[in-house]
């Protein structure tokens, strides 16, 4: 059975959100928050590990969000929400760090 990291991650982010600040949950919807968190964390890790340049990693993240039909407004709302950076860091840590996230791409 093939593992789908984004599907698993959306579920994990959902569980994280249940115990997280109401201001982050109110950012738009739980789904949008989870998807933006995953996309941003993946891009950050691809850049941080030197696996991909910033422009290419951010383009990949945006294509992912476009495919999931997350609007620019939803993205901005989530990115600007109090606690978003902490949520993203928590997601990265729970995935085993950037090296583990990047490994899933390869």
- Block mean pLDDT (10 aa), the chain, length 106: 48 52 56 94 96 96 96 93 94 96 85
What secondary structure does DSSP assign to 44-72, as a single string? HHHHHTTSS-HHHHHHHHHHHHHHTT--H
Quote the pLDDT of residue 2: 42
Quote the pLDDT of residue 21: 55
pTM for the model stands at 0.73
- Angstrom distance (rounded) from CA 64 to CA 93: 21
Is the separation of the CB atoms in 102 and 58 below 8 Å?
no
Quote the pLDDT of residue 48: 96
Quote the pLDDT of residue 13: 55
Domain borders along the chain are: 5-105
């Amino acid at each position: 059975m093939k593992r789908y990291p984004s599907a698993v991650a959306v579920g994990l982010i959902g569980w994280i959100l249940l115990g997280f600040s109401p201001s982050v949950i109110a950012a738009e919807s739980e789904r949008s928050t989870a998807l933006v968190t995953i996309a941003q964390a993946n891009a950050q890790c691809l850049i941080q590990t030197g696996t991909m340049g910033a422009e290419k990693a951010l383009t990949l993240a945006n294509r992912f969000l476009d495919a999931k039909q997350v609007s620019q407004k939803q993205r901005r709302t989530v990115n600007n929400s109090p606690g978003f950076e902490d949520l993203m860091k928590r997601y990265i840590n729970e995935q085993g760090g950037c090296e583990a996230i990047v490994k899933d791409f390869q």
